[in-house]
Amino acid sequence: MLLKKTGFPETSELLLCTVTSVQSHSVFVQIDEYGITGMIHISEVAPGRIRNIRDYVAEGKSIVCKVLKVNPERGHVDLSLRRVSESQKRNKINEIKKEKLAEKLVEIVAGNLSIETKNLYPAIYEKVREHFYLMFECFTEIAKGTFETSKLGLPKNVAEELKKVVNDRLKPEAIESICILKLTSYAPDGVEAIKNALKNAASTGAKIKYRGGGTYWLSVNAPTYKEAEAVMEKSANAALKYIKSKHGTGEIAETQA
């Protein structure tokens, strides 16, 4: 990425890292987003007993890690690989891909205005960060027409060219949120109770698909993660409330976005 974050990451933050060295009881990585190093103890590489640490990591491999502890005074960042779920890993990698796409759009703007990308990118990034966590989030809102580049406080020619490039190159995409719902009922009319619970979920906007073993896929498409998660929560709660009212049980087994 063109711009590295300053300082140190926060505890529980998810980071894209590159493995630089694999030792017998630890792994050292370069934290790509901050340009600093971090360490993963063997106990945080994978659950259970590890016989050969190289079965899980290798030099040069990109991995997503979770921050466990930060010591700015000593410059130490302790990380975990095993505490990152598959959905968290996919989301983080997807986030990085989108930020790289945002960088490409800035490069196009810079080329059109005959400005060095290395100078324009941090100028836009700092303005965007006043309104959004990610550059791509801002560009998506611009493409949807829900955010004006004039609000960024950039020079008029930059704001206008940025809006033009984003609208030409970036098409708003639907965000999918997925929930795995587990429903159980041993009542005489249990099958009917589960069907009605799922109908309640579907009535609020979720699509339902049987997964097996008493579990069901609930999926929601929306313009933003926030909207998708809000509809998903409403749908799942509708199903859970109904099944429990019929003396059954239910739980959210896993959520993905």
- The DSSP-derived string for the chain is --SPPPS-PPTT-EEEEEEEEE-SSEEEEEETTTTEEEEEEGGGTSSS--S-GGGT--TT-EEEEEEEEEETTTTEEEEESTT--HHHHHHHHHHHHHHHHHHHHHHHHHHHHT--HHHHHHHHHHHHTTT-SSHHHHHHHHHHTSS-GGGGT--HHHHHHHHHHHHHH-----EEEEEEEEEE--STTHHHHHHHHHHHHHHTT-EEEEEETTEEEEEEEESSHHHHHHHHHHHHHHHHHHHHHTT-EEEEEEEE-
8 occurs within a structural domain: no
- Which of 106, 134, 169 corresponds to the end of one domain? 169
- Which of 150, 169, 188 corresponds to the end of one domain? 169
Strands 175-184 and 36-41, bridge-based pairing? unpaired
pLDDT of res. 253: 76
pLDDT of res. 186: 92
Q: Are residues 39 and 110 in the same domain?
A: no
In the chain, which stretches have pLDDT less than 50?
A: none
155 occurs within a structural domain: yes
Q: Are residues 186 and 247 in the same domain?
A: yes
pLDDT of res. 180: 92
Separation CA 13–CA 216 (nearest Å): 30
Q: Are residues 141 and 77 in the same domain?
A: no
pLDDT of res. 21: 98
Q: How many domains does the chain have?
A: 3
Q: Are residues 165 and 92 in the same domain?
A: yes
pLDDT of res. 248: 94
9 occurs within a structural domain: no
7 occurs within a structural domain: no
91 occurs within a structural domain: yes
Overall pTM > 0.85: no
Helical axes 86-113 vs 117-128, angle rounded to 10°:
120
Q: Are residues 158 and 191 in the same domain?
A: no
Separation CA 14–CA 84 (nearest Å): 8
Q: Are residues 195 and 155 in the same domain?
A: no
- Which of 34, 66, 82 corresponds to the end of one domain? 82
Instruction: Look up the domain containing 206 and give its range.
Output: 175-256
Q: Are residues 210 and 252 in the same domain?
A: yes
CATH of the domain at 181: 3.30.70.1130
Separation CA 157–CA 124 (nearest Å): 13
pLDDT tens digits, one per residue of 126-170: 999 999 989 999 999 999 888 999 999 999 999 999 999 999 998
CATH of the domain at 71: 2.40.50.140
237 occurs within a structural domain: yes
Separation CA 125–CA 120 (nearest Å): 9
Q: Are residues 56 and 91 in the same domain?
A: no
Tokens read off for 2:
């063109």
